[in-house]
Structure 1
Amino acid sequence: MSHNPSKSFRKKTTRRKSRRSSQGSTSSGAEIEIVRYGVGLDVHKENIVVSVAAQTEQNLIIQIRTHKFRNQPQGLQELTQFLQKYLPVSHYLMECTGIYHRPVYHALEDAFPNSKTKIIAMNPLLVHRKLTDLGNKHDKADAQGMAELSFYDRLIRPSYIGTPEFFHLRDTLRNYKHAKKAANKYVNRIHRVLCSVNFMHKLNLHHEWELHLLDFMITTEGPMKRAFKAMVESSQLEKRSISSLMKHQDDYVPYFNIELPKTSRFNLRQLVIQYLQAETNAAQYLLQTEKQILKDAEFEYWYLQLLRIPCVGQVSALRLITELGDFRRFVNWKAFAKYCGVVPEIKESGGTFTPGHINRFTNTHLRTALSQIAMLYVNGYAKGSDLAKFAHRQYVLRGLPYKKAVMRVAQKLSRIIYQVLVNNVSYDATFEQTKAKIQRLQRRNTKHGTMLEFPQTRSLRRDISQLLVTNSQYMTSKSRFFLIKGFQQLIRKANVVELQGTKVDSKKNKI
C-alpha cells in the first residue's frame, strides 16, 4: 500500500482537506465562514457511517469528516458526543433501514432536544433517487451523499417515526397477524395428513364440535365410525348438543371405514397442539393491543368511530389505528390514500396519460386491511349503505374486473376514513343516498311546485305491493329481484308521463 504513490497521495490530500476545512481556512490562506453543517448517517445492523459536510457563505459544500461507529449503546453515545461540536446543523439525515435506524433516531432526539425537527429518517427509494450521480456505491459514499443532500430542504421528505411505545403496539398487532398465519399453516398440514389416508373432507377447526371430533379420531383406535360413535355417546353423557354433528353426519359416512395409522395419529396430535398454541398466541396479541388502545381516551374515541363504518370490525379498526399512528400528518385525502397504497401510479408525458399499477411502495398492512373490507362490500355485504351501492355500481353495472372494483371501493373507503379521523366527521352509512333524495325532491318542487307523487302513481304502487304480497309463494329470490326491478322502472316511467301531462295542461291553460 505504501509503494503506491497515487493512493498515498490521495490519502494525504483527503486528510489535509479535512484538517484545513475544520480549521476554517483554504489553501490560499483565506478564511472560510461556515454557515451550518450537514450530517449524513448510513445505518446498518452493526455499524453507523457518519459523514459531516459544511456549507459556506458562498454556498459551497465542503466535506469535513467521515467516521464509523458501532451500532451499540456505547457507540451511540460516542456518536452523539462526536456530533456535539458540529452546530448549527441543517439536518441529521438517515435512511429508514428496517428497524436499525430507530435506536439511532431516538438517541439523536435525546441528545439534541432542540433539533428534533431536523432529525430526518427518509425513505431509501427517495434517497437513492436523489443520489444517482454518486458513481460507485459504498457506505462512505452514501453517508457523504446524504450529508450533501441535508442542505437541500425542499428535496427532503421525512418519513413518520413515532414513539417507541407506538412501534411496540404496532409490532404487537403485526405479531397477531403472523400467529394467525402460523395457525392456518398448521390447519393445512392437518388436512394434508388426513388426505394421505383418503379423508378428503376438510375440517373447519374454528367450530368447536369439529375440533372435538378430530380429537376423538386421534385418541380412538379402529375405524372412524367408532370415533364418531364415541363422540356421540360422550356428548350425550355430558349433556352437550349434538345437533351440528348429526346435521353433518352424511358428510362423514363415506369415510367411516378409514383407520388412521399410528404415525398419522402422532403427527395429527402434534399439529393440533401447535395449532391451538398459535391460536392462543394470536388471541393474546389481539387482547393486549385492544387493552393498550382502550387505556388512551383519544385512541378509544377513534376506535369507536371506525367501528361505526359497516364491515369494519375490531381487528380492522385496530390495524388502521396502529399502522397510521399520527394520522394528522397527511395534508389531504390524496396523500392519505397514497400512503394506504390504494391508488395507481400515473405516468404522463407529452400528452400521453398512462395509469400504472397500484403503488406498492407503501404500507402493505393498510392496503391489505382496506382491500379485505372492500371485498365484503363487493361481495354484497352491508346492503343499503353508500359503499355497498358504490361497489354494486362498479362491479355489476360498470362491469369492472373484481380486483379493480375492490381497489375502487378501497380508495373511496380510504377517503371516508380520512374524513372520520382527520376532520372528525361522524360517519353516516346512507349520507349520499339521503343527500341525493333531498336534492331530487328539491328539483321536483322547483319544476312542478310539489314534492308529492301523483294519485295515479300512488295507486300503481299500491297495486304492485298487493300483487307481490298475494303471490309471494310463487316467487323465488331471483324472480322477486327482477320483478321489483321492473316495477321500479314502471313507476319511474309513469311518474315521467304524468309530469309531461301536467306540463301540457299548464300550457293549454296559459293559451
Structure 2
Amino acid sequence: MKNLLEICCGLDVHKENIVACLLKGSVNDDKPQKTIRTFSTLLQGLEELKAWLESENCRHVAMESTGIYWQPVYNILESAFNGNMVIIVANARHMKNVPGKKTDMKDAEWIATLLRAGLLNGSFIPSQPVRELRDLTRYRKSIVEEISSQKNRIEKHLQSCGFKLSNFLTDIFGISGRAIIEHIARYGSIAAEEVEYYVKTRARNKLQEIKLSVNGRMNKHQRDFLKLLLKHLDETYEHLREIEENINSELEKFKRQIEQLDGIPGIDKTAAAAIIAEIGIDMSKFKTAEHICSWAGLSPGNNESAGKKSPLE
C-alpha cells in the first residue's frame, strides 16, 4: 500500500476503553514507528487522548462507526487543533473488506494502517449545530409515535368496554370525541341526550349513529384505567410541545434555509427541519446527487443475478 500520511492514529473504541495506535514515519517507510496506548472512555480519559494526540502533532484520526461509543470521542476530538483535526468515522464493513490484514494485528493498528494509506472513506458527520437539531427532530418523531401508540391503547380499551366511537368518528380524539371520552371516564356511561350536547361541527351529521355506538359501560376499575391512559396522553402532548419549542429555538440558526425549503410545495416547517437535521446545509459533503439520494435512503437496491431479481427485504 502506498502511504500518504506521516503521522496518523487509529482508534478502536469500546464501551469502557479506547485502544489508540499512533503511526509516525516517512511515507516511504514501510515500518513506521508504532505506539499503542489505552485510554478510558470517561471524560478525563478522552481529554488525555486529545492532549496526547496534540502533543504528537497527530492531525488525522480514524475510528469505526459501530454503536454510539464513537460519539463522545468525536465530540472531544472535534475541537483539537482549534477544530482543524481531520476525524474519519469509517464504516466497519468497509474496513473488514479491505484485504491485507494480518491475523495478529490489532484493530487499532489496522485502522491506522488504512488511514495512513488513504484507504478509508469517512461517514457523513454533520456539524455540531446540525447534530443537536437532529437529536431533537428524531426525538420528536419517537414522541409522535408514542402518542399514536397511546391513542391506540385508549381506543382498544374503549372497544373492550363496548364503546364503538371509532366506527363513526374519524378522529375520536377531536373536540367531540375527546369530550365524550372524558364524560365516560368520569361516569362510566353516557346517555343519548348527553351525546347530543357534546357532538359538534360536522360530527352532528352522524349523531344518531354516534348515540348507538356509546352504549357500553365501565366499572370503577375501567374508569380509573381510562383516566390513567388519558393523563399519560396529555402529558406526552405537553412534552411534545416542549420539544417543538426547543426545535424552533434551534431553527433560528437555519432561518434562511428553512424559508427556502418551506417554499417548496409539499414541505412544511416540520419537514424542512427534519431535512436539515438529516443532511445538513453543506451539500459539498455529497459528491453527486446520487450520493445524497443514497444517504437519504431513496435509492432502491438492485438485487439481480443471472437475470433474476430477488425481492427486497
With the length of structure 1 as denominator, give the TM-score of the two structures: 0.54
**1:209 aligned residue:** 176
**1:500 aligned residue:** none
- 1:206: Cα distance to partner? 4.1
**2:213 aligned residue:** 255
Residue 339 of structure 1 is aligned with which of 282, 295, 298?
A: 295
Q: How far apart in 2 are the matches of 1:308 and 1:287?
A: 22
**2:262 aligned residue:** 307
Q: How far apart in 2 are the matches of 1:42 and 1:36?
A: 20
Against the structure 1 CA distance between its residues 216 and 250, is the aligned structure 2 distance closer, same or farther, given a 3 Å change threshold? Answer: same
**2:112 aligned residue:** 147
Q: Secondary structure at the match of 1:48?
A: strand
User: Mind listing any 5+ residue stretches in structure 2 that lack a counterpart?
Assistant: none
More helix by share: 1
Q: How far apart in 2 are the matches of 1:317 and 1:182?
A: 22
- 1:106: Cα distance to partner? 3.2
Q: How far apart in 2 are the matches of 1:114 and 1:254?
A: 67
Q: How far apart in 2 are the matches of 1:330 and 1:354?
A: 32
- 1:152: Cα distance to partner? 1.7
- 1:334: Cα distance to partner? 0.9
**1:179 aligned residue:** 143
Q: Do the aligned partners of 1:54 and 1:61 also contact (CA within 8 Å) in 2? A: no
> Alpha-carbon deviations, 1:47-88, whole Å to 9, x = none?
111112334454313461222111112101221233244345
- 1:321: Cα distance to partner? 1.2
- What does residue range 155-166 of structure 1 map to in structure 2 within 5 Å? 155-166=119-130
Residue 94 of structure 1 is aligned with which of 51, 63, 66?
A: 63
- 1:114: Cα distance to partner? 7.0
Q: Do the aligned partners of 1:48 and 1:70 also contact (CA within 8 Å) in 2? A: yes
Against the structure 1 CA distance between its residues 249 and 106, is the aligned structure 2 distance closer, same or farther, given a 3 Å change threshold? Answer: same
- What does residue range 48-127 of structure 1 map to in structure 2 within 5 Å? 48-56=18-26, 58-62=28-32, 64-87=34-57, 91-113=60-82, 115-116=84-85, 118-127=86-95
Against the structure 1 CA distance between its residues 256 and 112, is the aligned structure 2 distance closer, same or farther, given a 3 Å change threshold? Answer: closer
> Which of structures 1 and 2 has the bigger CA Rg?
1
Q: Do the aligned partners of 1:61 and 1:148 also contact (CA within 8 Å) in 2? A: no
Against the structure 1 CA distance between its residues 43 and 353, is the aligned structure 2 distance closer, same or farther, given a 3 Å change threshold? Answer: farther
Q: How far apart in 2 are the matches of 1:108 and 1:75?
A: 12
> Alpha-carbon deviations, 1:455-499, whole Å to 9, x = none?
xxxxxxxxxxxxxxxxxxxxxxxxxxxxxxxxxxxxxxxxxxxxx
Amino acid at match of 1:93: A
Amino acid at match of 1:301: R
Q: How far apart in 2 are the matches of 1:45 and 1:209?
A: 51
Against the structure 1 CA distance between its residues 63 and 147, is the aligned structure 2 distance closer, same or farther, given a 3 Å change threshold? Answer: farther
- 1:142: Cα distance to partner? 1.6
Q: Do the aligned partners of 1:175 and 1:282 also contact (CA within 8 Å) in 2? A: no
- 1:243: Cα distance to partner? 3.6
- What does residue range 423-438 of structure 1 map to in structure 2 within 5 Å? none
Q: How far apart in 1 are the matches of 2:83 and 2:272?
A: 35
Structure with the bigger RCO (C-alpha within 8 Å, sep 6+) is: 2
Q: How far apart in 2 are the matches of 1:264 and 1:59?
A: 77
Q: How far apart in 2 are the matches of 1:301 and 1:165?
A: 15
**1:39 aligned residue:** 9
- 1:113: Cα distance to partner? 3.0
- 1:197: Cα distance to partner? 1.9
Q: Secondary structure at the match of 1:45?
A: coil
Q: Secondary structure at the match of 1:52?
A: strand
> Alpha-carbon deviations, 1:8-32, whole Å to 9, x = none?
xxxxxxxxxxxxxxxxxxxxxxxxx
- 1:319: Cα distance to partner? 0.7
Q: How far apart in 2 are the matches of 1:162 and 1:250?
A: 56
With the length of structure 2 as denominator, give the TM-score of the two structures: 0.85
Q: Do the aligned partners of 1:63 and 1:144 also contact (CA within 8 Å) in 2? A: no
Q: Secondary structure at the match of 2:221?
A: helix
For these two proteins, the number of residue pairs brought into alignment is 305
Does 1:290 find its partner at 2:258? no
Q: Secondary structure at the match of 1:344?
A: coil
Q: Do the aligned partners of 1:38 and 1:92 also contact (CA within 8 Å) in 2? A: yes
Q: Percent identity?
A: 24
Against the structure 1 CA distance between its residues 341 and 248, is the aligned structure 2 distance closer, same or farther, given a 3 Å change threshold? Answer: same
